[in-house]
Each structure stands twice: as structure tokens, then as C-alpha cells.
Structure 1
Amino acid sequence: MHIPVDILFSRRGLQDVQLSGDDRVIWAEVENGIGKVYLQSDDKKFLDLSQGISVKGGILYGGGEFDCRGTKVVFCGEKSQLYAVDLKTTATTMLTPAWGKVSSPSISPDGKWVLYVFSDGETDLIAVVPMHAQDWPRQIVKGADFYLQPTWRPDGEWIAWVEWDHPLMPWQGSRVKLGEVGGMQLRLFNETWISGKPGRSAHQPLFSPNGKTLSYLQQNGEWEDLVLYDLKKKEKRILVHGEEYMLSTLDWVQGLRSYGWSYDSKNIFYFRYADAGATLWRVNVRSGKSVQIPTAPFTWLSQISCSSISDTMVWMGSSPSVPKQILKVENGNVETVHSSWDDTIYSPQMALPQKITWKGLDGKDVFGLLYLPEDTTDQKVPLIVEVHGGPTMQRMLSFAAEANLFTSRGYAYLQVNYRGSSGYGAAYRETLKGKWGSLEVDDIYSAAIHLVEKGIVRRGKMALMGNSSGGTTVLNTLRKYPGVFQAAICSYGIGDLIADAKQTHKFEKYYYQFLIGDLDEEKQQFIDRSPIFHIDEIKDPLLLFHGSDDMVVHPSQSQALYDSLVERGIPCSLTIFEQEGHGFRKEETLREYYRAILEFLAHYLLAE
């Protein structure tokens, strides 16, 4: 039985979860393109704290939607304003004017101030605004190109934050800084570099509840360490030495939290990320001994938040068979507070992925997750190869409704974590340096051939599917290996790498120096790897999608691809969705998107 497309529209995009001062659960979610912040009341009802204001962090690719402390919640409005909500009265106050972009609010321990990250597109800084909202916001930390995660020491006299500079991405060289603050108008007296440099990034600073220690995560070469900095002695100690696992995911968004302090400062709860999965651990601060905490059936975990008054904690978890949930752990009992999907979608039809490894064309290991249809007895099945974006993101052991949409219709669905993907160590990720548009293309090809040679899928019945930079890889794979894939779907892909390198937003302005090289010195490499300059090499049917308001990749790039393929008689279709950006959010858009994809794939992969 086919899993209906409608299940994809019943989902709520759970973004973050925290605990209020009295251990009530507060979370941010997106439903049908609208962001909201909810509070679970004492009678288990959900109270909408955003009250009609769409909630969205506006810096990097989002995140950092809200903060809560005591009886106050501060959230980011989609129109670049901060709002404060009093949990006692639910009264809402606008704290900042609609100017620039805002993210990652952090409420001071006394509830009088809010730190937050601000950007006008050219200058980024950490600003501060009084909770009474009667004064204008002011800058408090400035000078670096980017900022993340401002946080307060419990006495309110010190803050910590993350910063980094071009041409690096945060995971390549972010720094943790410590600063002393005070005064009637709250200003920064001094700042101190604590950790982080190129090749040894540091991030996620947190103060212990007793105020004696600053903790943070630091790259140790291949993996990551959890480090403690004694604020009095000014001494550092590695509490958890990461080996064969990461302690965080990449900072593509603001507000990521992969560990948290217990209320009594005796333990830290943290996630280990390895082999596309995640586990929860508790480490004793004094002894350094770590103990794993069972989290079955959840295999992917994120956004942990620990109570300031009890052993209660919350986090988000999912697995290939269980949609993303908000989990509250209280007195040893685990309670599901909220789910990203309706219960009606739980079904034995949900395919479980197999972790697979194969050899790339150069003989090195490549990883992926393979979903197979329920019944593959004595038959080879058509294949969809999904190419993730980033290109340094990854696919993991989380709920994949889209994969099941296809497997229930008889397709095998392969998610390739090609070299350059995160989650498998720094060396695996850094292998892509200078090779984007070539190495990952070969990894995609070798994945498909591996499954053909294993007798799992049918040669001549294979398709590619990718978004954004994943769409670029789709196009380059069609160029290099014509005829291997009988169809491809490319959504808001980057066709002209030269134009994108010149026009892209500030965050990724110099990312191409890592992915390909310096544009001025290696322009030919950009030309060679730009699909737009080699459209004549694409000879296979192509389905294109783009948003009319895409500020990252202009829709004209997809239009140029479409015009060329149609002129040469190559089957091609282009849909430009109005009022959509770099990623589709509206239900009516997604309904048409999946309808067109299913019809396209059925024509080229299922028809004999």
C-alpha cells in the first residue's frame, strides 16, 4: 500500500526545546511555514506564546529562535524583532525595532537584560537591550565577522560567546571568548580569548550553575573534546576526550546545544554522534567517568536542555521508525510532550535503513543509508539516489518520511554521505577540500554501481534527487556520467558557481575557497564545475524546481538550464513556486512538488 503524500503535510518542524524556571516545557516549531513558540501548561495543554507573530531566527540558516529564564521568554520574530513574553500574564512586549536580523537571545540571570546576535548583512555583532524595552539596543561585542551563542554566568558579571572570521566557516576555526560586563547601561569591560583557532574550532560555551567553570567543545584534530575552564585558577581540563565520535553537529544554524550541566554542577549530560547515529551520556565532573543513558528507540538526538532546579531535562529524539519527539525526563520517567507528526502515520510499512559502506573509485570507503521496499523477493528494484546539501551536511538515523514515500511505491532509496559529509570525522569531511564538483560526483556514481553489482537495483532504472548544493551535484553527475541515470530532480540547484561565489550571502562568501579554490586564481576550475557552462553535456530527463523569492540561488539559473534542455529536445520541466525561497514551506507548494516528482519518476523508472 502506498504511503499517501498527505502524511508529509501533517508534520510540524520542531526546532528547539527548553525548560522554564519552574520546569515547564517550552518549544519552537514550524507548521505550514509559520513559526510558533509553545508552552506546555500544568494541565498539559499547549499555550501559543507567539500570539500570531511568526517566529524565526534570522541569522545563518536560522536557529536560535528563543530563550527562557525564570518567568520570561524572549523570541525572534520573522520580521527581525525581539519580543518578550511574561509567563505569568502572557503579555507580549516588543524589545527591538524591525531592523537587520536577530537571533540567539539570552536573558540575564536577573532578568533585566537580553543579549542577542545582530546582523545587517554586512556587520555582525552581539547587542544588548533592556527587558523594560524603554531604551534602544546597543552593541556590546563587535569586531569579528560572525557571532554565536552568547551566554551569561549565573552572577551576571561575565558573559561568553563564539566568534569567527572570514574566510573560515565556524567548524574550521571558531573561537570561544570570555568577557566581563557591568554598569548601569551594561558594557563590556574586557574580553579574553579562551580557546579556538584555525583547525581547532571551539564552540558551545556554557557556565556551570555554580559559576565556577566555563565549559565548551573543542576540536581535537579528528574528533572533539569537552573542556572545562576553571574561572578562578584559569586552568583547562579535558573532561571528555572524543575518539571515534563527535560531540556536536556543524553550526549551519544558531542555537545548537549538544550538552548541558546538571542543576547541582556535578554532572554534564552530552550527546555522542557517530556512524549516522547519536547516544546520550552522563559524565561526572569530578571523576571524569562517563556512563551511557538508554534512549531507545531513539537513534538521533538533539537540543538537550537541563533544569536549573532539578534533575529534569528535555531533548528531541527520533529514529527511522519514530518521528521527531520532544522528550521530557523527570524522576527517571520519559514522557513524550509533543511529536512532529500525527500518530496516524505509524505503520509497519515504514522501511528501516541499512547502513552500507562501499569503495569509491579511488578505493576509499564511502558511507550511506539504504532504504528498500517491503518486498524485493527475486527482483531488482528501481533506485533513487538522494544527494544531501551543504555539501558538508549528512543524512542520519532519523525519521525519513520522504524515503518511505518512495519505498512504499517500489523504489529503493539511497542517502549518500559522500566524502565531505560531516559526522565521520574531520579527515572524511576535509577530503572534499578543492574537490567539490568532482569527488562527491564519483561517490554518487560508485554508490549506484555498487548496488547494481550487488544485484539489488536495476541498471537502467535509476534516478538522482538533490536540493541546493545537492542539486549542483546532481547536475554534475549527469554531465560526467550520461546515461547512467535515467532521470533526475534538481531543486534550487547552483548552476553558475562563479555568479554564486560573487553574489552569495555573507556566511558562505568565502566557502568556495575550501570547496574549489580562490576564484581569481582558479577561475577555470569554477567554469569546469559549473553546470551552466556545460549544459550541452546533460542528456538525461530533468525535473527542475525553484522558489521565486530565492535569495541564495537566483531562479534565473534554473531557467537557463530549462531553456537549453528544451531547445535541444531533452525532456525537462521547470516549476517556479511563487513566494517561496531557498527551500519550500507552504503545503500547496509541497503538494504540487511531490505530485510532479512521483509522476516523473513513475514515467521514467516504473514504465517498462
Structure 2
Amino acid sequence: MTDEAVDGPGSSYPAAVVPDRLFADDAAEQRWRARFSAVRIGLPDPARDNAERAVYVSNAGGRFELYFWDTATGTRTKATDRPDGTANGGPAPDGSGLFWFDDNSGDEFGSWQWQDFGTGPGSSRPALPDVPPGYPSGLEIGRDIVLAGFTDDDGSRVHLARFGEATRVVYSHEQDAGVGALSRDETLWVLTHSEHGDSRYPALRVLSTQDGAVIGELDDTPGRGLDAVAFAPVPGDTRLLVGHERRGREELLIWDVADGSVHELDIDLPGDISGDFFPDGQALLVLHTHSGRSTVHRYDLASGELTDLPAARGVISGAVARPDGSIWYRWSDAATPPQLRQLYPDGRDVTLLVPDGPPAPGSEAVHDIWTEGPGGTIHSLLARPTAAGEPSEATNRALPTVFYLHGGPASADEDAYEGTRAAWLDAGFQVVQVNYRGSTGYGSAWRDALTERVGYIELSDIAAVHDDLVVRGLVDQARCAVVGHSWGGFLTLLALGTQPGRWAVGVAGVPVADYLAAYEDEMEPLRGYDRALFGGSPEEKPEAYRDSSPLTHVGQVEAPVLVLAGENDPRCPIRQINNYLDALTARSAPFALYRYDAGHGSMVVEEILRQMACEIAFVRDALGMH
């Protein structure tokens, strides 16, 4: 299971083996690697006032970087080229250039850069040279104004830069806050804040960019949050589109900040709803998510008419309305690699942008599994290798299974293409993805239920699904792996310590392993989130943090575990992982460490491939699959 030792404080940790290949068959080896190395393109972000210029993220050069796209000529220009990749950025409204965030080796702490449109790597310069670095907390770019939010150990601050004038701080507070929106005429801006102390449920404040006067407040706390989506894209229009959860799910409302009126939109769709304005401000592009899949619609604000827009069944991971009435969108399903499409008002649906090189190989469809759990009905996605057939009574046979736990925790697994899921399937595993309590897309109560006992609520749902699939004859109980990254990595370690008889092996990527030490070292926005989850800091709620900390239960871990850790991770810092590994070492427990020089994950394709190969090889070895 291990290679050379990795030095840790007070000990040497066994290092995980990274095999040269996973499959003897060349075609199989090339196929799984191609799912990650094939060129992928994110949904382009068009310049607001220049229809011919856009920015997108792609892995075309072997890591994820930002690219310029001139839609008139088709010219694509690589804008950034950093050792650890670049993904956080957006175009100026007139398309003249790009703001992108520059950090150090994935530590997420840094400053904004400016780069002229069409220029290559090394052409940038500091965008806000007189602003101290920090963790980014919102950016709104106007023609004459830039508003940039930052957080650090002192709290939150917002800087306003008006071209030709000195940058000034227009907001600061010890609690989490950031920039939400900027009006089209650049006279108003929205502060998203948690001055009430719970960063999970932000409130909104609208302020004047001229003198800082408060124009309006909207606050649904306690227990409900608001999201400033965008002002209407018309100069002088004071309507703000806001995401809310007043009826127990994510929906939309219009807040006219000039007269204070609030109009909740009655959009009759199950599940969660998000959206944005069409460029004329008369309609909304609505994205609807339900049971791991999504649909897209046009909502007329005057008549309230909702029009379904034709798109294939699966997941639309992003959509943007264009001045000609069309929409750009990115679509995939579990079996089909992502496609960038353009849907016109007359129903024409054409390819928007084709990546260079051969496409990623397809994969297998997912099947919906519904399980009655301790807190209600749990939705899971089950994917099986090609040879396993459909999950039916006639074909059921127990297979080695990976329970792949999503991060977040406020996230969800969906019927979308994933190279990671496909790689496990190619390796002979079936994959179960559980949308446990804490997941989004199933209402506010489901999302927030994990606060009853952090970690244990999620694991009780995962256990219920595990038991259900064993009874159905789909899962071999002796060959079950629990695998996850970030919050999924935290749940993996907690599962190994509190459900030791259930799991044969675990893989925990960038996890919270020692919650008390993690709180001390993590970035301030994460501390605020933890205080909201637990109802206070470790000083105020010490037993709750200890109860949910995997380190507390390390003495019960029986299964071999692989831990992956980023040297510069500000979310799940390295010291608290070392504390956990020291405890495993003291017990002579079987484990291995894969440590890499980046932050909370990697944007380098070769590094992603190395980690994927390491994970699969470790689990195969632990289960005796050779």
C-alpha cells in the first residue's frame, strides 16, 4: 500500500503508492485517463456590454487556466499560466480586459490582477495595488467602479475603487461579509453580510456608491438567508433579483430598493430555483434543480408566464442569457461528457464551442435509489459497471462498492458527467452517491438538519442507504469503501471511527481530521461557518466540536485509510491532518499519506491523474482486487 515514508512532526508517515498504470489493457488505461485529460471548457462568461468578448476556464494546456474568446473571429487566447492553475476571474463590462485572482500555490490568499483582453500570460498588473491581500469575498466590476470584498483574520472589508481616485474602504466588520451586486448605473451596491453572527444565512444592505448612505435593508434571519443575484440590467432600474427561502426551499423575489417593495415570484416547480435577468430586464432565465437533475425556463416578469426551454434530461451546470434572446448553456448527464450549447428563441440548439482534440469517452448512466431513512426519504444515485447490468431483481449481484461522499456539505450529487465516478466504474466498482441531510436541492430543512449533530446526521443517512442496498442484494457488505474529499473526507474519517464494522477501507481527501486544530488554522470564513454549524466557537461549544472530530474516534478505526493532503490548504490545514496521522501511527494502524504541494485540491491534470490512480490502487489493494 505504501512507497517511501513522508516525514511528519515526530514521525515518518508511510507514503501511498502511485502506480504507473491501473489497467494491463492499453485501451482501458487510455480511456480512464482521457476522461481527465480531454480538453474541457467551462461556460464562457461574456462581457456585459460587448457581445463579442468572453472569458472561460479550460484545461487545454494541462491545467485549468483562464482564456480570452473573441466570438466574432473565433480567436481563443490563453490569458494565465501559473504552476497551480487559475480559475477565479471575470471580464470587464466593456470587454477591455479581465480581473483574475492571484494567490500563492493554492492558498486562496492574495490580490486581484488586471489583464488587457487578448494578451497572454505575464501581461497582467495589480488591479488594486493599494489594497492589502486577503481571501476574496465578492467582486463587482463596473465601467467606472470596482468593488472588491476580502476577509482575513480581522474580519471582512470592502474596497471601492473609482478610476482616477484613491481606493477607499467602504465597509469593515468582524463578521463575514462580501460584495453582492452593483447597479447598472453604478450608483448602488449590495453588501451581503452576517452581522447577526450566522454566516449560513446572510442578510442584504443596499448602499450608495457616492456617500455610503444606506438605501435599504432586507433580512430574513434567523434561520433563513438571502442571496443578491443581480440588479436589473437597465440604467436607473432599482430592481434587485434576490434568492430567498421563505417557503422552505430556494426561490426568487424582486426587491425594488427605491420604494422598498418586495415581490415573491410564484414559479410552480418542485425543488430549488435560481436565475438571472435577460439583458432587457423584462424576463428571467430560470434554472430549476430537482432530484439531481435540472431544467431551464424563461419567466416573463409582467405576465408571470413560465416557458419551458428545450434541453436534454440531465444537468445544466450553468446558463447565461444573450442580447439576441438566445442562451448559452453547459449540459451533461452521467453518460455524456459536457457540451457547450446555444439555444435560440426559434428552438434551434447548436454547438457553441468545441474543445480542441478528441472528446472525453462516455460513461454509464446513473439510477435513482430512494431509501426511507431516519429523517425522511433519501435520494441516492447508483452507477454500475457495464458488465453488471441494470439494478433489478433479476440481475442483482453484490459488487464491491464505493460510497462516494460529496463535499460542501451544502452541495449535492447529480446526474452529471464525472471522470471520478467513471474511473471507479472502469476499475470494477459500483458507485453510490448519497444526497444525505445537509445536501442542497431537497429543501431548506433537509439542508440544515445536519446541525442537530454535525457529521452523525449525514452518516445515519449513509448507513440507511448502505443497509438498504445490502438487503436488495446490490452491495457486498465485506467489500465497501467509503471515499470523499473536503466535507466528504471529514465524513469518511468520522465514518471509519464511528462505524468501524461497516467499511473495509477508506479514502479521505483534504479532510477535517482534528476539528479543534482545524478551527485554529483555517481561513476566517470557514471559522464563521463552523461557528454557525455548531452554534458557537470551540471555546463556547467544546464538547460538540470534540464529539464531531474524527480525532476523538481514531481509537476505533480498523480499516486501512488513505489520506490526501494539500500543503497550502487554507480550508483543511495540514497541521490538523498530521495530528490525526500521529494518532494512527501511535496505534500502528494501517494508513498511507499522499501529500501534494497545492491547496484544497489541484487544477493540474497530471496531479489529478496521480491522485485518482493512487486512490483506486489503494482501495483495490485493501480489498484484495488484483
Scaled by the length of structure 1, the TM-score of the pair is 0.86
Cross-structure match for 1:296: 312
**Structure 1 unmatched ranges of 5 or more:** 58-62, 249-258
Distance in 2 separating the partners of 1:149 and 1:328: 30
Q: How does 1:85-484 map to 2 (within 5 A)?
A: 85-87=115-117, 94-97=126-129, 99-101=132-134, 102=136, 104-108=138-142, 111-131=143-163, 135-143=165-173, 145-165=175-195, 167-169=197-199, 172-182=200-210, 187-210=211-234, 211-212=236-237, 213-241=239-267, 244-248=270-274, 259-302=275-318, 304-307=319-322, 309-330=323-344, 332=346, 333-338=348-353, 343-347=358-362, 350-360=363-373, 362=374, 364-376=376-388, 379-484=397-502
Letter in 1 for 2:205: K
CA shift, 1:356, in A, is 1.1
Deviates more, 1:72-81 or 1:481-490: 72-81
CA shift, 1:87, in A, is 4.4
**CA 1:394–1:353: 2 relative to 1, 3 Å:** same
Distance in 2 separating the partners of 1:88 and 1:582: 30
CA contact (8 A) 1:461 1:604 kept: no
CA contact (8 A) 2:154 2:174 kept: no
CA contact (8 A) 2:327 2:343 kept: yes
**CA 1:76–1:103: 2 relative to 1, 3 Å:** farther
Deviates more, 1:233-242 or 1:287-296: 233-242
CA contact (8 A) 1:244 1:425 kept: no
CA contact (8 A) 1:174 1:198 kept: no
**CA 1:590–1:228: 2 relative to 1, 3 Å:** closer
Letter in 1 for 2:383: Y
Letter in 1 for 2:232: S
Cross-structure match for 1:576: 595
CA shift, 1:52, in A, is 7.0
Does residue 1:72 correspond to 2:96, yes or no? Answer: yes
Cross-structure match for 2:15: none
SS across alignment from 2:611? helix
Q: How does 1:22-101 map to 2 (within 5 A)?
A: 22-29=50-57, 31=59, 32-50=62-80, 56=86, 65-79=89-103, 80-87=110-117, 94-97=126-129, 99-101=132-134
Deviates more, 1:265-274 or 1:201-210: 201-210
Deviates more, 1:29-38 or 1:498-507: 29-38
Write the deviation string for residues 237-275 of structure 1: whole angstroms up to 9, x where unpaired. 222346632124xxxxxxxxxx22223322111111211
Write the deviation string for residues 419-453 of structure 1: whole angstroms up to 9, x where unpaired. 11111101111211131231212222222221111
Distance in 1 separating the partners of 2:343 and 2:433: 32
**Structure 2 unmatched ranges of 5 or more:** 1-26, 104-109, 390-394
Write the deviation string for residues 339-397 of structure 1: whole angstroms up to 9, x where unpaired. 679643233xx11111211122x373222111111112553211000111222221112
Distance in 2 separating the partners of 1:564 and 1:120: 31
Q: How does 1:545-564 map to 2 (within 5 A)?
A: 545-564=564-583
CA shift, 1:605, in A, is 3.0
CA shift, 1:553, in A, is 2.5
SS across alignment from 1:240? coil
Cross-structure match for 2:550: 531
CA contact (8 A) 1:116 1:150 kept: no
Cross-structure match for 1:252: none
**CA 1:281–1:555: 2 relative to 1, 3 Å:** same
CA contact (8 A) 1:55 1:76 kept: no
Letter in 1 for 2:167: P
Letter in 1 for 2:248: E
Distance in 1 separating the partners of 2:86 and 2:518: 25
**CA 1:316–1:136: 2 relative to 1, 3 Å:** farther
SS across alignment from 1:280? strand
Write the deviation string for residues 28-49 of structure 1: whole angstroms up to 9, x where unpaired. 3153555313223422221234
Distance in 2 separating the partners of 1:271 and 1:104: 22
Distance in 2 separating the partners of 1:51 and 1:554: 26
**CA 1:144–1:390: 2 relative to 1, 3 Å:** same
**CA 1:533–1:36: 2 relative to 1, 3 Å:** same
Deviates more, 1:495-504 or 1:382-391: 495-504
CA contact (8 A) 2:157 2:173 kept: yes
Distance in 1 separating the partners of 2:309 and 2:127: 40
Write the deviation string for residues 281-306 of structure 1: whole angstroms up to 9, x where unpaired. 1111111121111121542332x333
CA contact (8 A) 1:55 1:75 kept: no
Distance in 2 separating the partners of 1:580 and 1:92: 22
Q: Compare relative contact order (CA 8 Å, sep 6+) and give the higher one, 1 or 2.
A: 2
Deviates more, 1:198-207 or 1:446-455: 198-207
Deviates more, 1:473-482 or 1:117-126: 117-126
**CA 1:75–1:470: 2 relative to 1, 3 Å:** same
Distance in 2 separating the partners of 1:460 and 1:424: 31
SS across alignment from 1:493? coil
**CA 1:53–1:326: 2 relative to 1, 3 Å:** farther
**CA 1:279–1:492: 2 relative to 1, 3 Å:** same
**CA 1:242–1:162: 2 relative to 1, 3 Å:** farther
Instruction: Give the number of equivalent residue pairs.
Output: 576
CA shift, 1:232, in A, is 5.0
Write the deviation string for residues 516-556 of structure 1: whole angstroms up to 9, x where unpaired. 44433542333233222332200111112212222332324
**CA 1:219–1:340: 2 relative to 1, 3 Å:** farther
Distance in 2 separating the partners of 1:13 and 1:582: 21
Scaled by the length of structure 2, the TM-score of the pair is 0.83
Cross-structure match for 1:486: 504
SS across alignment from 1:482? coil
Distance in 1 separating the partners of 2:372 and 2:365: 23
Deviates more, 1:47-56 or 1:453-462: 47-56
Identity %: 18
Distance in 2 separating the partners of 1:363 and 1:245: 18
Does residue 1:589 correspond to 2:615, yes or no? Answer: no
CA contact (8 A) 2:401 2:430 kept: yes
Letter in 1 for 2:566: G
Letter in 2 for 1:468: S
Letter in 1 for 2:212: L
**CA 1:339–1:245: 2 relative to 1, 3 Å:** farther
Letter in 1 for 2:450: L
Deviates more, 1:534-543 or 1:116-125: 116-125
CA contact (8 A) 1:54 1:77 kept: no
